[in-house]
Structure 1
Amino acid sequence: MVVSKRFNLVLSTLVSVGLIAGCAGGGEATKKTEAGGAAASAEPLKMQFLVPSYADVPNMNDEYWTEWQKRTNTKLDVEWVPSGDYDTKFDLVLASGNLPEIIVSSNITRPTLLSAIKQGAFWDLTPFLGDFSKYPNLKNNSGPNVWNYMKLDGKVYGLPRNRPQIDLGIKMRKDWLDKLKIPVPTTLDEYAEALKKIVNGDPDGNGKNDTVGLLGHGFLVADGDETFQAAFGGLDPVYDKDGGLIRNFLTPNYTEMVAWFRKLYADGVLAKEFTAVKKTQAEEMFATGRAASYVRNIWRDYTWEQDNKKTQPDAKVITLPPLKGPNGVAVSLANPTFGAFYISKKVPEAKVRQILDYFEKTTTTEYTDFNYYGIEGVHHKVVDGQPQLTDLGVKQVTTNANQVFSMAFNNKMKVLNPSAPKAYNDAKIKDVEVYGKVGKLNPFSIINSDTWTAAWPKFEKDWQANVAKAIVGQISMEEYKAYVEKLNANPDFKKAYQEYAQSYKQYFGK
């Protein structure tokens, strides 16, 4: 109990300084956990999950996972799929019909998911949840407007994976800026010019101009797409002459961004094989000093700075302030739910209720804090009033730890680095708090259109190929614009845009 009291005291201190967002259900959850001793003798709830893996596949018998399953009285059978391969695996599993009990979709508007829901693959949770009187933690500790976003045709099929909206930022090697006497960029133009100077300036001193300016992974620059779209107004609703809401990447705003990337590519700033770089490759390249800029989670700044210091002792990684673009700033807000959990219709109704009880029990500050820091004295020690991960904590308490429950919403979680000193985290939070005020949410992460779901897969690969061709100069921007105009004139797309407009009104009002 001494450890438990000390940990709760630490958390109280963190709440008071704004590091851990409090929530109404936390205290009650503590009582439930302590009272859970009486239920500890009950048979553990066995649950089968399919989830994406963002780190090494964990050992479910290690200290962290043993304690998690003990506290929740569960036995977890988890299939971990590398995040870069997850969408492919997800689609294959849906097509096979051989669903696990609980499956994660990292995108609540993924066409294959929507089709599976309409075909009856998953439980409609609306009657189970009701007015949430039995699920106060799920109601009160979830992100803003999340349960509205969970609806499809007025029904709730998924359980949210609550995540902060302040998440992604444009990383930059500040030490390289200083070395080349380049001010920290404040606009997209300054950013592009700074990267051009870096790639031509041999910042790592190896005698070669082999530094990548802007790194991405997959199409286009993956996690960075929406960040840059925001600077061009690409996350604002754009309507056609008939009042249809144009898909964000077929707007003139997106085309303007493609032209901007085209110049970056011509200047040698954008990675040459930008569409072929895998996430693990990109992470390794940035962590070993081979790239100047990369858009990823803000909390990674400290980790990658320490990695770079191994070979470049003066390395300093920063997240840039909001960069001004032609029609906005380069800050995208994450959907407050990173996809959702879906329960297979093959699961018996009685077990559905047990699974919901598990999610209700764990959607609290208490469990989220445990998920973030693990066991005191094992996974973390308290330094300056803040839990700081030990070497074992860094190994076992990875981002994979939050893949099997909803978490309590905390808008600073993707900013805090559990391995960083308190002063570093305090400063980082202050630096990026403006993101929550100026950033934009991509409405297409919420709204949907049946017509688009059916039609777009036939065009997606060809569109991606044309974007790449425009960027590398294989076709002119005029040719690309004509291609987009042709797509937008497609009757199916025009119908889809009308559906999107209606869906937008449903979720966001006017």
Structure 2
Amino acid sequence: MKQSIRWVTSMSALTLSLAFTAGCSTGGSGGASPGQSGQAADGKKPLSIQMFAGLYNEVPDMNNAYWTEWQKKTNSKLEVEWIPAGDLNTKLDLLLASGDLPEVVAVPDFKRPTLISAIKNGAFWDLTPFLGDFSKYPNLKNNTVKDAFKYRTVDGKIYSLPGSRSRVDIGIKIRKDWLDKLNIPVPATLDEYEAAMKKIVEGDPDGNGKKDTLGLIGNGVIVNDGDTSFAAAFGALEPTYNAEGGLVFTNLTPQYTEAIAWFRKLYEQGILAKEFSVMKRVQAEELFKTGRAASYARSIWWDKEWENEIEKAGQPNPKIVNLTLKGPKGYAIDLAIGGGGGYLISKKVPEAKVKQLLDYFELTASQEISDFSYYGIPDVHYKSVDGQKVLTEQGVKEVNTTGKGVGVLTYEKWGKVISASGNKAYNDAKIKEVEKYDEIGLVDPFRYLVSNTWINVWAKYENEWKAAVTKAIVGQISMDDYRQFVDKVNSLPETKQAYKEFAEHYKTFQAK
């Protein structure tokens, strides 16, 4: 079914430190950025915004050319607490528990149970009466992905603005140059992928004389961004109902358990990196872009930049491709809803400033600001080559994923595919590589469904489930033991009640 939509709430790392090096930006704390100290052309002073947001690259210098121009264009002065991506959900939970919220909280998962609890407890503004019919916010209405606001309601009310992004995002990457070197065809099925990866980890594709190449890497419960993609190949993103007609949470379906058993087999063969459960995202990324690993699941738009990094590391002519793998019950393609993250406004913010913040986000949803977020300043961050904007060295350094985390932006079908480091020919080929993803991939209902009962159930069992996943994959418990744990959670009266609530909520979306 093509009706599955989901944001997996359980893909954060197994072992996260509670002592965070959050990398708080000093941007805004040391005086106004250049161009920010004066008033805008219309005489309005820059809007000061305190924000909690994810860090996906190095901590940005808020006084550099990119951020100076962003704040100038939006007439804002940003004071951002940047949280490393691997720590984001745990840090968010602590922030919500403390109740000491900044003005704006940017979240990767707008339906995280702890967040829903905070919303229901009155921590954030209900934006529904402010947005109204969206006549005052045409960019938010017209430039975001279809149904972005419909999917993000809680009890029929809108509490978060979408981070409007591409539905086509995550790709399961493999080093095609290594496949070619070892005379291995590009895998088209999970079985072919497994066989190819086994040959790679047992070979010497980088030519260093050692058999030390890592296979599939990642971070989190299994491989984080790739967990859902691989699980989709086993049918885990198809709505699954229990005997009572309740909609079963994706991670606790029999199909997802099949995916766990498959990961266990990869681990036994040395294909899945031994450190998968404790590896941080920055470590995984570093391993891949320095040519240490064969396969990694992340946003497709990284490919050209990482090819450049691999070449700098001493491996000439690297080639990364994103696979279209068919599994026993579907394709290993996980689609986003085109606006999975969200921006929430603390109830501590005065009503007058809520309107100012909505004006800011309305502006960030314009095409002009969106284009700027992808490419920066002409002749500083990019140059036009054959009609394609290509980032300069300064652009590669300053224009990145982190920079897209402070505004809504417009919906771009290929926004997570096109590389600002690649030329037109490269990007045309990259789109061709994944052009069928939007047709054959699936999204999952648990990206937007809400159950009041489930909030408490999953808060109680999520960490235990994560531990069981790791133990099952590394062989510390049997797959039967893992299944018994899943059955235990699924058979709880409160779980069955939550599944009924999910099913009822799902019906409302099918009817629309």
Mapped to 1, the partners of 2:493 and 2:397 lie a distance apart of 52
Q: Is residue 2:255 matched to residue 1:248?
A: no
Gaps of 5+ in 2: 1-38
> How far apart, CA to CA, are the structure 2 residues paired with 1:360 and 1:464?
38
For residues 237-296 of structure 1, the C-alpha deviation after alignment (integer angstroms, 9 at most, x for no partner) is: 000010000111111101111111111111111111210111010001011111110111
1:483 to 485, 500, 503: 485
> Are residue 312 (structure 1) and residue 310 (structure 2) matched?
no
Provide the C-alpha distance between the structure 2 equivalents of 1:264 and 1:280, rounded to a whole number of angstroms.
23
* Structure 2 counterpart of 1:363, from 362, 365, 377: 365
Aligned 8 A contact 1:40 1:73 in 2: no
Structure 2: how far apart are the matches of 1:246 and 1:82?
Answer: 31
1:173-252 equivalent positions in 2, closer than 5 A: 173-252=175-254
Query: 1:105 touches 1:113 (CA, 8 Å); kept in 2?
Result: no
Aligned residues of 2:40 and 2:75 also touching (Cα < 8 A): no
Partner of 2:25: none
Structural mapping, 1:439-454, within 5 Å? 439-454=441-456
Following the alignment from structure 2 to structure 1, what is the Cα–Cα distance between the partners of residues 496 and 430? 44
Q: Which residue of 2 aligns with 1:108?
A: 110
State which of 151, 160, 166 in structure 2 corresponds to 1:158. 160
Instruction: State the shift of 1:227 in Å.
Output: 0.4
Q: Secondary structure at the match of 1:76?
A: strand
Alpha-carbon contact 2:389-2:423 (below 8 Å) kept: no
Q: Is 2:134 the counterpart of 1:145?
A: no
Decide which of 455, 463, 466 is 1:464's aligned counterpart: 466
1:441 is aligned with what amino acid?
A: V
Quote the Cα distance in structure 1 between the aligned partners of 2:70 and 2:92: 26
Aligned-partner residue type, residue 224 of structure 2: A
Q: How does 1:324-363 map to 2 (within 5 A)?
A: 324-363=326-365
Q: CA deviation at 1:314?
A: 3.0
Q: How does 1:24-173 map to 2 (within 5 A)?
A: 39-173=41-175
CA distance in 1, matches of 2:351, 2:416: 35
- SS of aligned partner of 1:293: strand
Match of 1:497 in 2: 499
Asked whether the equivalents of residues 49 and 77 of structure 2 are also in contact (C-alpha less than 8 Å), the reply is yes
Distance 2:477 2:90 in 1: 30
Distance 2:406 2:461 in 1: 34
Tell me the residue number matched to 1:474: 476
CA distance in 2, matches of 1:482, 1:97: 37
* Identity, % of aligned positions: 57
C-alpha distance in structure 2 between counterparts of 1:406 and 1:253, whole Å? 34
Contact 1:226 1:442 in 2 (8 A): no
Secondary structure at 2:377 match in 1: coil
Aligned-partner Cα distance in 1 for 2:490–2:93: 27
Q: Which residue of 1 aligns with 2:438?
A: 436
Amino acid at match of 1:47: I
Aligned to 1:8: none
Quote the Cα distance in structure 1 between the aligned partners of 2:356 and 2:377. Answer: 26
Amino acid at match of 1:317: I
Partner amino acid, structure 1, of 2:341: G
Structure 1 consecutive aligned stretches of length 4 or more whose deviation exceeds 4 Å: none
Aligned mates of 1:38, 1:309 — CA distance in 2: 44
User: How far is the alpha carbon of 1:340 from its aligned partner?
Assistant: 0.6
Deviations 1:430-462 (A, max 9, x none): 111100101101211111111111111221222
Q: CA RMSD in A?
A: 1.3
Shift of 1:206: 2.0
Q: Secondary structure at the match of 1:338?
A: coil
For 2:510 and 2:213, the matched residues in 1 are separated by 43
Report the alpha carbon displacement of residue 39 of structure 1 after superposing the two structures with TM. 4.3
Moved more, 291-300 or 86-95: 86-95
Q: Match for 1:249: what amino acid?
A: N
Q: How much does 1:207 deviate?
A: 2.3
Which deviations, in whole Å up to 9, do the C-alpha atoms of 1:325-384 show, x marking residues without a partner?
A: 010001110121132100011111111111111111220111100111111111111110
Please give the alpha-carbon distance, in whole angstroms, between the structure 1 residues aligned to 2:264 and 2:48. Answer: 51
Alpha-carbon offset, residue 38 of structure 1: 7.6
In 1, Cα distance between equivalents of 2:145 and 2:209: 49
Whole-angstrom CA distance in 1 between matches of 2:46 and 2:482: 57
Distance 2:40 2:326 in 1: 57
Task: Please report how far the alpha carbon of residue 471 of structure 1 lies from its aligned counterpart in structure 2 after TM superposition.
Answer: 1.3
Unaligned runs of 5+ in 1: 1-36
Alignment size in residue pairs: 473
TM-score, normalised by the number of residues in structure 1: 0.91
Rounded to whole Å, the distance in 1 between the matches of 2:111 and 2:359 is 26
Per-residue CA deviations over 1:171-222 (Å, capped at 9, x if unaligned) read 0011111111110000000000100011111111222221111111111210
Deviation at 1:422, TM superposition (A): 1.2
Aligned residues of 2:325 and 2:332 also touching (Cα < 8 A): yes
User: Aligned letter for 2:508?
Assistant: Q
Structure 1 residue 507 displacement after superposition: 2.6
Which is worse superposed, 482-491 or 376-385? Answer: 482-491
For 1:354 and 1:273, the matched residues in 2 are separated by 46
Question: Quick one: which amino acid aligns to residue 262 of structure 1?
Answer: R
Q: Per-residue CA shift, 1:308-334, capped at 9, x if unaligned? A: 1121113211111x2110100011101
Amino acid at match of 2:396: V
What is the SS of the residue equivalent to 2:412? coil
Point out the structure with the larger helix share: 1
* Distance change in 2, residues 1:344/1:38 (3 Å): closer
Letter in 1 for 2:274: K
Distance in 2 between the 1:472 and 1:130 partners? 52
Instruction: Give the distance between the partners of 2:476 and 2:226, measured in 1 at CA.
Output: 23
Distance 1:380 1:145 in 2: 33
Letter in 1 for 2:421: S
Check whether the contact 1:53–1:82 (CA below 8 A) recurs between aligned residues. Answer: yes
- Once residues 189 and 83 of structure 2 are traced to their aligned partners in structure 1, the CA distance between those partners, rounded to angstroms, is 38
Q: Aligned partner of 1:83: which letter?
A: A
Give the deviation of 1:82 after TM superposition: 1.1
Q: Which amino acid aligns with 2:316?
A: P
The alignment partner of 1:49 has SS state of strand
Query: How many angstroms apart in 2 are the aligned matches of 1:210 and 1:73?
Result: 51
Q: Distance in 1 between matches of 2:501 and 2:448?
A: 13
* Paired residues of 1:447 and 1:507 also in contact (CA < 8 A): no
Are the aligned partners of 2:40 and 2:46 in contact in 1 as well (CA < 8 Å)?
no
C-alpha distance in 2, partners of 1:452/1:69?
40
Q: Which amino acid is the alignment partner of residue 318 of structure 2?
A: A
